[in-house]
Amino acid sequence: MTLECKGVRCHQTLGAKTWQTIRMTEQDPPQNPFLALNFFEFAAISVLVLAFFPMSLVVCWFAFGKKTTGYLIEAMIKDWVQTVLILAGLAVLLFGGLVWGLIEWIA
């Protein structure tokens, strides 16, 4: 989705908005191709990277370059943070359910 108004273009990029003036550039900001993968594709790449870490990153650096390796690391960090937040939320729900059950059992 692209919005134009008074010499400023707003680019919608994976939920985040980045503002660029038309005078600076006519190109869209670069997008991380790893964030567009579905769950199973990214899971396969993550398993391979982690199984052969750190050699997988060195090979990726030489084969695909600095930018693609950076995108891969960024996507893996975002995936890790998302996983930790989901697990923390599940732990809070489980703990809350156990406390509620214990209180109901005692009372």
Question: pLDDT of 21-50, one tens digit each?
Answer: 556 556 777 788 888 888 888 889 889 998
Say whether pLDDT at 97 is over 90: yes
In the structure, what pLDDT confidence band is assigned to residue 10 with cuts at 50, 70 and 90?
A: low
**107 has pLDDT over 90:** no
Closest CA to 49 of 14, 74, 30: 74
Q: Where are the alpha helices (DSSP H) in the chain?
A: 39-51, 55-64, 66-106
Q: Which pLDDT band holds residue 12 (cuts at 50, 70, 90)?
A: very low
pLDDT on residue 38: 85
Residue among 11, 32, 33, 35 nearest 21 (CA)? 11
